[in-house]
Amino acid sequence: MCIRDRLIAAYHPALKIDIQSAVAQAPVSCFFGPPFYSRSLPTLILAGTADELVPISGPERAFALAPPPVTLVELLGGTHSGFMNREQPYVENTDTRECELLQMSDPMRGQAEFVARLTAGVDPGVFDPGSCLPLCGQRYRQTMGATRQIRLSRAATLAHFEASLRGRVDAALFLTWLLGRNPDVVVRIKR
């Protein structure tokens, strides 16, 4: 499933998919309005603070709007490319090259069809494009390597699913307490 589709499959009010728990890495979620988050669902949102494709404000907005329980794990200095285990040595941010490649292609191609499908059969306000920052509009300094970012993401994802689907207390403690003790991780929880 495409990364942008994870939150759509989990929350979209017109879809009736039986999802019991969700994880979204660097979700392009800035265009979802409050009515989009129509149900409570254990959700983990992973975001890098140096992400040039999906600025941290988008995942923060999803965290604020989604009903509890929801957890936001901010990987300080993590990038969009880091979630794909991509890293280029000797550059300030691997995402800068990804942005260049994206902008050389046609990043808006298919957007009209995507918006039409997203908004079909839903109330006004589900889709709010005015909340999005320009694609690749801000440069950030990458301080987290892709290998570390992948390891932290995998650990958080496993702990989330073990806690939310299997009720494992040790996994919940890892996610809520131990993970956040890393100097390059901030964990926010809404219960």
Q: 43-75: per-residue pLDDT in tens? A: 999 999 999 999 999 999 999 999 999 999 999
pLDDT band at residue 113 using 50, 70 and 90 as cut-offs: confident
What's the pLDDT at 36?
A: 84
pLDDT band at residue 158 using 50, 70 and 90 as cut-offs: very high
What's the pLDDT at 110?
A: 66
| φ, ψ at 74 (rounded to 5°) | -95, 120
Distance CA(22)–CA(125), nearest Å, equals 22
Average pLDDT, the chain: 87
In the chain the beta strands, taken as DSSP E runs, fall at: 22-25, 43-48, 70-75, 185-190
pLDDT band at residue 107 using 50, 70 and 90 as cut-offs: low
pTM for the whole structure: 0.89
What's the pLDDT at 173?
A: 96
Indicate the DSSP class of residue 93: -
For the segment 153-182, the average pLDDT, to the nearest whole number, is 95
What's the pLDDT at 148?
A: 97
- Asked if pLDDT for residue 1 goes beyond 50, the answer is no
SS3 assignment, position 71: strand
What's the pLDDT at 5?
A: 59
SS3 assignment, position 84: helix
Provide, rounded to the nearest whole percent, the portion of the chain with pLDDT above 70: 92
What's the pLDDT at 51?
A: 95
- Asked if pLDDT for residue 88 goes beyond 90, the answer is no
Q: For residue 57, is it left (φ>0), alpha (ψ between -120 and 50) or beta?
A: alpha
**Residues whose CB is less than 8 angstroms from the CB of residue 152 and which lie 6 or more positions away in sequence, other chains included:** 73, 75, 78, 179, 182, 184, 185
Cα dist from 11 to 14, 39, 76, 118, whole Å? 9, 7, 27, 12
Show the tokens assigned to 154. 């995998």
